[in-house]
Amino acid sequence: MAVYTVHAPASYGVDVRTTSDRLVFVRDGFYVWAFVFSFVWLIWHRLWLALFGYVVISIASNIVLRSFGLDFGARAFVAVIIALLIGLEAGSLRRWKLSRRKWRQLDVVVAKNEEEAERRFFDRWTEHSARDDRGNGPLHPMPHSSLTSNQDVIGLFPEPGVSR
């Protein structure tokens, strides 16, 4: 099972029924194509700052390794490590781009694939909006905590507004 984050443009309203074609589902995990074709994958997803950083790091590491007189095998190994990091952090790079563009994260969904993630998200959203149409709370897809503000929570995080 994969974890997907659901993002929507901040300029649109809260109602996803009108903006469902603009939602972006970003899978968390390893991206094979980002590992194999890092340069092309970054261009395809229009991650220009990440692409710039990738090119700069690749060229700089190649120059430094050549200046130390290391052979092609060592330079290839470093290139594979850089590509591995891109593959591991590809989802985070996409979320970073969306947050820089002021997109907001609506929900987190666990599903086998993106199609199932979409179905689970819209099922949950429809359930919450139907409940909210009956006047049972604010229109929000994420489940709300059952704790009220006057209940104490045992943990590391103090209640807001309380002195330490």
State pLDDT tens for residues 91-144: 999 999 999 998 989 889 999 999 999 999 988 888 876 665 555 544 455 544
Q: Say how many CA atoms lie within 13 Å of 81 toward its Cβ.
A: 10
In this prediction, residues 14-43 reach a mean pLDDT of 87
Question: Which of the residue ranges 2-6, 39-43, 160-164 would you say has the lowest mean pLDDT?
Answer: 160-164
Question: Which of 11-25, 64-78, 127-141, 144-158 has the highest average model confidence (pLDDT)?
Answer: 64-78
Does 142 fall in a domain?
A: no
pLDDT at 20: 73
Does 111 fall in a domain?
A: yes
Q: Average model confidence (pLDDT) for the chain?
A: 83
Determine the structural domain holding residue 17 and report its residue range: 2-133
Number of domain units in the chain: 1
- Are the CB atoms for 75 and 1 separated by under 8 Å? no
Does 80 fall in a domain?
A: yes
CB atoms within 10 A of CB 57: 14
Beta strands in 90-132 (DSSP E): 103-111
Does 58 fall in a domain?
A: yes
